[in-house]
Amino acid sequence: MASGEAVPAAGHRPGRVGPFLRSQMRNIAPFLTLILLTAFFAFASPSFATLDNFGNILTQVSVTGIIAVGLTFVILCAEIDLSVAAIANVTGIAVAYFTLQESYVNIANVPMPGWAAILLALALCALLGLVNAFGLTVIGIPSFIMTLAMMQIAAGISALLVRGQIAYKVPPLVSTLGSTSIGGIPWIVIVAALMLLGGHLVLTYTRFGRYVYMVGGNREAAEYAGLNVKLILGSVMVISAVCAGIGGMLGVAHFGSAQQNEFDTYLLDSIAAVVVGGTSLFGGRGGIGNTIVGLFVLGVLNNGLDHVNIDSFLKILIRGLILLAALVINVYAQRLRERAAD
């Protein structure tokens, strides 16, 4: 059998550093970005590189991080979920809706025990995720459009529940996890870290995680391998919605209030965290590790810009430009990798 002789006898690969680096571009570039940004802000502002401020950054990215866990699954499957922020919002509002509010809050709410309120809120976000899953897999609506519709639907439910008012009370468990600390570490940071860890373990060590990568890598091949592709796609949509819901509940406790449009910036932030971290928009490459790096890039950027005393209107533009740069790297890394594998 002489076929395949033209192929490298890998294992020992002399002079393969170049291709290796190129194939790792996706992981290296975001990390370099993070180091450069950190170095820049540390140099530009004395108040940036302090332990206190590090804690601030961790707290600031926690809600985004919780939402980004589920979104990582979705993007790894080469789908997108534009409804995460709206689902976070409606879940946060729902948990407050089912909690007894102060008398001056003018909301026709339905008070319930804390555990019931939490379960109902979780059921709501899971249900919205199921609707996304149904639209994507059974009806066949592209996820981009399906979740765009869901974004409106969730915002609509939020509007109906609060009717322009603001609610403040949430169940004690939620308010503890969202707004208190233990041993100096905010609970919300611990929850975010645990969820990121959980997501990583699922993606790396479970059969389901492998399927997620395979479906994202080549959907047709996954189908020819006899995988239930629709079930996997549906599952990631539900996972995404539930993660968003948890982020929403803790976020409401963290901010101290539940109101309409509270999470609007989190859609862009969570997508940015996943993509800036280097998870491929074409699916099959990346993971929670990348998302964590992406979260820190965003966190350092947002926090650092506050420290260097910059025009707050300019900040928005800068964030946009950094996101664009990350997208360019993301697409470029894919190309380099393909060339390295060629």
Partner 1 sequence: MPQDRSPVLELAGITKSFGGVEALRGVDFALYAGEIHGLVGENGAGKSTLMKIIAGLHPEFSGRFLVDGQETRFRSARDAHAAGIAMVHQELSVAPDLTVAENVFLGNQPTNRLGIVQWRRMAREAGEQLARFGIDVNPMSRLGDLPIGQQQLIEIARVLFSGARIIVLDEPTSALSPPEVERLFATLQRLRDEGTGIVFISHFIEDILRVSDTVTVFRNGRKVAESVAAATTKGALIEAMIGRGGEALEHSYTDDLMLPTSNGGSVVLKAEQLSLARSLREVSFETRSGEVLGIYGFMGCGQQELSRILFGKLTPDSGTLSVDGRPRRFASTADARRAGVALVPESRRAMLFHQEPVYKNISISILERISALLLKPAREREIAKRQVQQLQIRPPVVGLDLGMLSGGNQQKVALAKWLSYPPRLLVLCEPTRGMDVGAKNDVINIVRDLRQRGLAIIVLSTEPETVLSLSDRILVLRRGAVVREFSNEPVSKDRLLAAA
With binding defined as CB under 8 A, does residue 8 bind partner 1?
A: yes
With binding defined as CB under 8 A, does residue 224 bind partner 1?
A: yes
- Which residues are CB-neighbours of 36 under 8 A, at least 6 positions away? none
Q: Which of 130, 148, 230, 306 binds partner 1 (CB under 8 A)?
A: 230
Q: How far is the CB of 289 from partner 1 (least distance, A)?
A: 17
With binding defined as CB under 8 A, does residue 11 bind partner 1?
A: yes
Q: Which of residues 275-304 bind partner 1 (CB under 8 A)?
A: 284-285
Cβ closest to partner 1, residue 254 vs residue 285: 285
Nearest to 22 by CA among 318, 308, 334: 334
Cβ closest to partner 1, residue 185 vs residue 231: 231
Q: Got the DSSP string for 127-172?
A: HHHHHHHIIIIII---HHHHHHHHHHHHHHHHHHHHTT--B----H
Phi and psi torsions of 170, nearest 5°: -130, 165
With binding defined as CB under 8 A, does residue 9 bind partner 1?
A: yes
With binding defined as CB under 8 A, does residue 7 bind partner 1?
A: yes
Cβ closest to partner 1, residue 102 vs residue 342: 342
With binding defined as CB under 8 A, does residue 55 bind partner 1?
A: no
What's the residue count for the chain? 342
Buried b (16+ CB within 10 A) or exposed e, 30-52: bbebbeebbeebbeebeebeeee
Q: How far is the CB of 232 from partner 1 (least distance, A)?
A: 10
Structure-token pair, residue 229? 């592709």
Stretch that binds partner 1, among 59-67, 80-88, 188-196, 226-234 (CB under 8 A): 226-234
With binding defined as CB under 8 A, does residue 183 bind partner 1?
A: no
Q: Got the DSSP string for 65-122?
A: HHHHHHHHHHHHTT---TTHHHHHHHHHHHHHHTSPPPTT---------HHHHHHHHH
With binding defined as CB under 8 A, does residue 51 bind partner 1?
A: no
Q: Please give the size of the binding site for partner 1, defined by CB under 8 A.
A: 43
Distance CA 293, CA 271 (A): 13
Distance CA 145, CA 149 (A): 6
Cβ closest to partner 1, residue 6 vs residue 108: 6
Cβ closest to partner 1, residue 28 vs residue 202: 202
With binding defined as CB under 8 A, does residue 226 bind partner 1?
A: yes
Distance CA 86, CA 148 (A): 10
3-class state of residue 24 by DSSP: coil
Nearest to 120 by CA among 76, 161, 72, 167: 161
Structure-token pair, residue 215? 């479906």
Q: How far is the CB of 327 from partner 1 (least distance, A)?
A: 20
Binding mask 231-260 for partner 1 (x = CB under 8 A): x-----------------------------
With binding defined as CB under 8 A, does residue 200 bind partner 1?
A: no
Binding mask 138-177 for partner 1 (x = CB under 8 A): ----------------------------------------
Stretch that binds partner 1, among 7-15, 70-78, 103-111, 174-182 (CB under 8 A): 7-15
**Residues binding partner 1 (CB under 8 A):** 1-11, 13-16, 19, 205-207, 209-211, 213-214, 217-218, 220-231, 284-285, 337, 341-342
